[in-house]
Structure 1
Amino acid sequence: MPSPIYRQCSATYRQCSATRTPAATSVTASFNPASPAITLVDLLIQSRLPMSRQSLTPLDLLLFPTWLVPVEPAGVVLKGHGLGIRDGRIILIAPREEALKHPAQEKLELEGMMLAPGLINTHGHAAMTLFRGLADDLPLQRWLRDHIWPAEARWVDEDFVRCGTELAIAEQLKGGITCFSDMYFHPAVVSELVHKHGVRAQIAVPVLDFPVPGARDADEALRNGVALFDDLKHHPRISIAFGPHAPYSVADDKLENIRILVAEMDACIHMHVHETAHEIQEALHKHGERPLARLARLQLLGPRFQAVHMTQVDEEDIALLTEHNCSVIHCPESNLKLASGFCPVERLWEAGVNVAIGTDGAASNNDLDLLGETRTAALLAKAVAGSATALDAHRALRMATLNGARALGIDDHTGSLEIGKFADLVAVDLSGLAQQPIYDPVSQLIYSTGRDAVRHAWVGGKQLLNNGKLTRMDEQRVIANARQWGARIASTDSQ
């Protein structure tokens, strides 16, 4: 039986649905959740059919990279293999000679390239690309209180979110990011853009105790979240989560409501936790316990809890994360830039905690370069652990792909190159000067390759990046729109 809080939110949503704008429901208009889907069982049966039976239906696309890195099994690099796609899913991984026996509508040679799972950016605030460089070289609380929150109150509306999110999607795609988690205002607008541009995303509805753009209070944010979840629960590329901002900005009663809703809806919780030492000190003073312990007491922790940052960690924290099977989202460059602290990635990994990686927003990073973020994470982990063997290149790539999918609860569908999963892929050119010679292509990817080497990207078998060019977005228009917003913000700030 649905809980009272869910019924209350749903009832309010239904009462308001007659007056909702068409944009709020447009995302679901062009896909049919009742349409037949290819199941993993179907694919496994097909893979065991005789060649003559399999060849009746050509592949949509057959790719031949120099290196194929599935991520799962761990540490595997395949040379001389092909990958076949049909109906948006991977249905073939085989040696080249065997793959060539399969008819395909299109065959693509990726000479000198690595084919890997698309990168998954598990934490960010997409529209904040428009605040990139607005306030740098400041500690977190001053940065938020004196600059970011006032700027958001003044500038953030649906148009701001639309422009900033398009800029973020374009930047991420060109860097090989095929899936991202967003935690920002006007999430319905974000969902429209994710649907339009073909990427995959978790959209976390932000919840705070004070008014924010698009929600007068936490209760309205929760109602909006339930409405968006109901709209999109069958969408093949979008999942809706709840994003209580941080333990210090959301009261216990609102966290309790979130706990009830996510249990009812089987949704994720995405939350900034243990980002700074100041946060820990304030929590001990106000609540007499560390923030993670408070969240455990409120029963928010679990396999669908995503703890973002976790730079302040003790053994009791690790025990709680392990006990409740939570995921940690590591954002090393933002933490370094804001001097927030260091997430002990190797300790968490050794304890069995799933650790994924995120860029955070471009206002505190200042880019959405997950490949560069992964390199920083690998190097920083070695320094923090005092061990050169900490977070090797293969594990770093796993953190940016399969671990991210696991954190978002979509690892059955994406995050690795396996039969039956969606064809979310990235092809990276390793033929440049900086990559030669190549002994381990994954090591070269992590330690000596920049995002400008990304050539192609597919989501669900649809090519969204072709030889470095966006296929569904007008890059120059996106840049022009961002510059217009930048000029508006800069001219007002200078007055």
Structure 2
Amino acid sequence: MQSIDTLISARWIIPVNDARETLENHSIAIDQGVIVAILPNAKAAQEYQASHSIDLGDQALIPGFVNTHGHAAMAIFRGMADDLELMTWLNDHVFPAENKWVDYDLVRDGTELATAEMLRSGTTTFSDNYFFPDASAESVLKAGMRAQLCFPTIDFPTAWGAGPDEHIDNGLKVMATYAGHSHIKVNFGPHAPYTCSDEPLLRIKALAEEHGVGIQMHVHETQVEVDGELERRGQRPIRRLKDLGLLSPNFQAVHMTALSEEDINDIVETGAHVMHCPESNLKLASGFCPVHELQKRGVNVALGTDGAASNNDLDMLGEMRTAAMLAKAVSGDATALSAYDAIKMATLNGAKALGWDKEIGSLEVGKRADITAIALNDLESQPIYDPVSHIVYASTRDQVTNVWVDGKQLLNNRELTTLDKNTIIETAKQWRDKIVKG
């Protein structure tokens, strides 16, 4: 028998592979953080001697969710300015709050609150776009997760810098600190076409190519944005970004509502990825991303929650269900974004968009053991004809029981193993009191 670190057995394993398999009564063998085998339970018991054997019974194992867009520290602002349209929300509430309150400590504490929530929702990897990415990195590493940290660049002063050049220079320092890190990637995060002029965008393009990193940007978030850019520049935002040379397989376009045929053609031609944030878009009445049409054209569409200030949660199970249903309504096609494709959007597609698909995003031999377990044994999950369908259409985040990253258990029967839940709650309350008092 081969000695390994961990053997996890469950009723179902959903690898998220080209065969679109659902394996029943199988086990995952893990050694030194890597999946070394996926095989029937009986065969696993014969072939492997594990230091830790875990039998999860009627649960399903899936790849850990990859949340491809958010602003983790804004969990501190959850519920602060609801029921407003995007520009009012941004200009009258979010930007002023950030200018007054955002610093290293808020970002560290807000990100820790977000990582705890994401782990308890089954997310193992996320992409963040916020100030003080070095503070975010501190919280990510404490939690044991993976993260792509996109430092923002914007034309006006912020708490993190006097303008775009200082934003870029500060970000490059963080990028150098985490170059080659297994759990942290640092990318460029210019805010949006309407807040970034050409000169910093051209500098970002050159630096991204020099350092071999990606660019994530809010693009075509609303029709108002597109109309404003047409009036101001005489050009649709996506075409402007294409003409500047930013669109490429290393470009991650967030939101992508209000798309014309020309816009879709530009995305297809350049190989850019699309980060779909359906619940945030719905709450802010921002519009609808044509997911079905993009996927039919071969565009890689991944899933994100956006920040807790505009969602208001970081729940990828809920986001996945909304995405699947919305795709059907927007396209008028009940076959659009099937349950299996929805799980793929929330896992492997996200890993591909972040450039991590060789390591994570699916449960395959040789990949890192980033795994989420979902309980399907209670009344609300009965009867089960198809566990994939149940996960997408009938499961909630409180059914997430266990989470592993690199084979290390970060959630054990709903309890966080690397973070102190009570301390995080108390810290969040202290920030609320401080903000309310002004």
Output the TM-score relative to the length of structure 2: 0.99
Work out the CA distance in 2 between the residues paired with 1:97 and 1:66.
12
Work out the CA distance in 1 between the residues paired with 2:398 and 2:343.
17
Work out the CA distance in 2 between the residues paired with 1:111 and 1:97.
14
| 1:125-172 deviation line (CA, Å, top 9, x unaligned) | 000011111101110000001111111111111111111111000000
Q: Is the 8 A contact 2:116 2:143 kept in 1?
A: no
The offset of 1:75, in angstroms, is 2.0
Q: Corresponding residue for 1:272? A: 218
Secondary structure of 1:209's aligned partner: coil
Q: Corresponding residue for 2:24? A: 79
The offset of 1:97, in angstroms, is 2.3
| 1:26-78 deviation line (CA, Å, top 9, x unaligned) | xxxxxxxxxxxxxxxxxxxxxxxxxx7xx2xx110001110000001342100
RMSD of aligned alpha carbons: 0.8
| 1:289-346 deviation line (CA, Å, top 9, x unaligned) | 1000000000000111000000111111111111111110000010000000000100
Q: Corresponding residue for 2:105? A: 159
Q: Is the 8 A contact 1:69 1:116 kept in 2?
A: yes
Structure 2 residue identity aligned to 1:67: W
Work out the CA distance in 2 between the residues paired with 1:194 and 1:215.
23
- Stretches of structure 2 lacking an aligned partner (at least 5 in a row): none
Q: Corresponding residue for 2:186? A: 240
Q: Corresponding residue for 1:359? A: 305
Q: Corresponding residue for 1:313? A: 259
Secondary structure of 2:4's aligned partner: coil
1:134 and 2:80 matched: yes
Q: Corresponding residue for 1:381? A: 327
Q: Corresponding residue for 1:288? A: 234
Work out the CA distance in 1 between the residues paired with 2:78 and 2:271.
34
| 1:391-427 deviation line (CA, Å, top 9, x unaligned) | 1100000000000000101101100001111100000
The offset of 1:224, in angstroms, is 1.6
Work out the CA distance in 1 between the residues paired with 2:26 and 2:78.
41
Q: Corresponding residue for 1:482? A: 428
The offset of 1:228, in angstroms, is 1.3
The offset of 1:286, in angstroms, is 1.4
Mark the structure with the bigger radius of gyration: 1
Over the matched positions of the two proteins, sequence identity in percent amounts to 52
Secondary structure of 1:104's aligned partner: strand
Work out the CA distance in 2 between the residues paired with 1:93 and 1:367.
33
Work out the CA distance in 1 between the residues paired with 2:398 and 2:95.
33
Q: Is the 8 A contact 2:148 2:186 kept in 1?
A: yes
Q: Is the 8 A contact 1:423 1:458 kept in 2?
A: yes
Work out the CA distance in 2 between the residues paired with 1:286 and 1:98.
65
Alignment of 1:301-450 (within 5 A): 301-450=247-396
Q: Corresponding residue for 2:56? A: 110
Work out the CA distance in 2 between the residues paired with 1:245 and 1:261.
16
The offset of 1:491, in angstroms, is 2.4
Q: Corresponding residue for 2:43? A: 98
Structure 1 residue identity aligned to 2:420: D
Q: Corresponding residue for 1:146? A: 92
Secondary structure of 2:48's aligned partner: coil
Q: Corresponding residue for 1:451? A: 397
Secondary structure of 2:380's aligned partner: helix
1:59 and 2:21 matched: no
The offset of 1:490, in angstroms, is 1.7
Structure 2 residue identity aligned to 1:182: D
Q: Corresponding residue for 1:7? A: none
The offset of 1:373, in angstroms, is 0.5
Secondary structure of 2:318's aligned partner: helix
The offset of 1:259, in angstroms, is 0.3
Given the superposition, is the C-alpha separation of residues 394 and 186 from structure 1 closer, same or farther in structure 2, using an over 3 Å criterion? Answer: same
Q: Is the 8 A contact 2:4 2:50 kept in 1?
A: yes
Q: Corresponding residue for 1:44? A: none
The offset of 1:86, in angstroms, is 0.6
Secondary structure of 1:388's aligned partner: coil
Work out the CA distance in 2 between the residues paired with 1:433 and 1:74.
30
Work out the CA distance in 2 between the residues paired with 1:244 and 1:106.
44
1:254 and 2:200 matched: yes
Q: Is the 8 A contact 2:142 2:419 kept in 1?
A: no
Output the TM-score relative to the length of structure 1: 0.87
Work out the CA distance in 1 between the residues paired with 2:205 and 2:187.
12
Structure 2 residue identity aligned to 1:443: S
Work out the CA distance in 2 between the residues paired with 1:224 and 1:257.
14
Work out the CA distance in 2 between the residues paired with 1:184 and 1:139.
21
Work out the CA distance in 2 between the residues paired with 1:333 and 1:97.
42
Structure 1 residue identity aligned to 2:356: I
The offset of 1:82, in angstroms, is 1.0
Structure 1 residue identity aligned to 2:328: K
Alignment of 1:187-206 (within 5 A): 187-206=133-152
